[in-house]
């Protein structure tokens, strides 16, 4: 019997990251043949522990390396590109802005230029963008017709990547589809500076969860569960990028949550409501409220976020319980 994606030969950039791992696993389950460009392989990452690197063709180097990208695309006879690779943390982007622009901007235009040169073999290009491209807009929720206006290093880099992707579609008729996502959460995110995994990690160690608060209110975000995100990528994959009128889509739940309530929900899920959070004044330039309208994705792609936050948090906590139990077992067994 033919697999659902047996004709898909995809390059997944950023495959070893949090989102990339889930997407890679799903694509492999559906029968796709995969290639990736990785800067390195963290042996403790879910990607490595699941052995996904053994099931795909891996090239090691920089996503900004034009010749490496070209080799990966030609060797793998790639017909589909999922472009996820990026420096994705605001704090890190402030510390190393040059690397953020090198990865997020140069990586994008080199990848798209290779696709342009080899356009005869490329049928789909799906680019991961962000709600951060809308900048600090007072108009909520964001819709796809609003201007791109990222200002700080990360937001500006994603704005550039987004515009470059649109330019290659407009100027060269490349089959580009851009997905703009809100805050993504779920098991497998080992970046513990993020709210949900960081809160779970601290509570697991019976430490106070940290809630960062600005001087002028409370941060509010739209939280999208990882399995709904994977389905968003599949909705874009099955979309006719050549003939479809729309090519930019917001993906979110359409709901806003303040981070205090999210922290409280995690505590309730872990039965640790008695631990008082520690409030930390945040002086950075992070946007106060961010909220995406998913109406276009719902109407055109027939996609919706089906996982309630309460259920997504429960599944996420369960994932970390299993992960840390496994880590503990390996430590006591002397396995490195």
Active site residues: 154
Q: How far apart are CA 53 and CA 40, in angstroms?
A: 11
Beta-strand ranges (E) seen in the chain are: 9-13, 33-38, 57-60, 80-83, 124-130, 176-181, 183-185, 210-213, 220-221, 223-225, 248-251, 257-258, 278-281
The 3-state DSSP class for residue 283 equals coil
Show the tokens assigned to 240.
């006719």
Q: How far apart are CA 199 and CA 201, in angstroms?
A: 5
Q: How far apart are CA 31 and CA 15, in angstroms?
A: 16
Q: Are 180 and 130 in contact (CB under 8 A)?
A: yes
Residue 146: burial class (beta carbons within 10 Å; 0-12, 13-18, 19+):
middle
Q: Are 196 and 312 in contact (CB under 8 A)?
A: no
Q: Are 85 and 63 in contact (CB under 8 A)?
A: yes
Beta-strand ranges (E) seen in 46-189 are: 57-60, 80-83, 124-130, 176-181, 183-185
């Amino acid at each position: 019997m033919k697999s659902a994606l047996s004709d898909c030969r995809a390059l997944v950039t950023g495959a070893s990251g949090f989102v990339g791992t889930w997407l890679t696993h799903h694509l492999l389950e559906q029968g796709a043949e995969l290639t990736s460009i990785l800067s390195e392989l963290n042996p403790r990452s879910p990607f490595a522990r699941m052995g996904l690197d053994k099931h795909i063709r891996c090239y090691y180097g920089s996503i900004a390396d034009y010749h490496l990208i070209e080799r990966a695309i030609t060797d793998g006879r790639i017909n589909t590109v999922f472009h996820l690779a990026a420096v994705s943390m605001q704090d890190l982007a402030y510390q190393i802005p040059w690397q953020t622009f090198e990865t997020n901007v140069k990586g994008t235009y080199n990848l798209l230029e290779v696709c342009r040169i080899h356009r005869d073999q490329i049928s789909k290009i799906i680019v991961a963008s962000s709600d951060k491209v809308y900048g600090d807009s007072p108009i909520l929720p964001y819709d796809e017709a609003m201007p791109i206006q990222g200002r700080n290093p990360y937001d500006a880099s994603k704005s550039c990547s987004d515009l470059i992707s649109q330019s290659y579609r407009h100027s060269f008729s490349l089959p580009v589809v851009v997905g703009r996502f809100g805050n993504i959460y779920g098991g497998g995110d080992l970046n513990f500076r993020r709210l949900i995994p960081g809160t779970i990690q601290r509570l697991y160690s019976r430490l106070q969860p940290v809630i960062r608060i600005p001087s002028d209110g409370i941060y509010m975000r739209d939280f999208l569960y990882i399995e709904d995100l994977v389905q968003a990528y599949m909705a874009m994959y099955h979309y006719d990028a050549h003939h479809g009128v729309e090519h930019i889509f917001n993906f979110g739940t359409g709901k806003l949550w303040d981070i205090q309530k999210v922290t409280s929900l995690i505590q309730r899920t872990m039965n640790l409501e008695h631990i008082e959070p520690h409030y930390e004044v945040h002086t950075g330039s992070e946007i106060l409220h961010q909220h995406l309208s998913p109406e276009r994705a719902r109407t055109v792609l027939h996609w919706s976020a089906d996982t309630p936050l309460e259920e997504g948090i429960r599944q996420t906590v369960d994932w970390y319980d299993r992960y840390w139990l496994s880590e503990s077992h390996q430590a006591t067994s002397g396995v490195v």
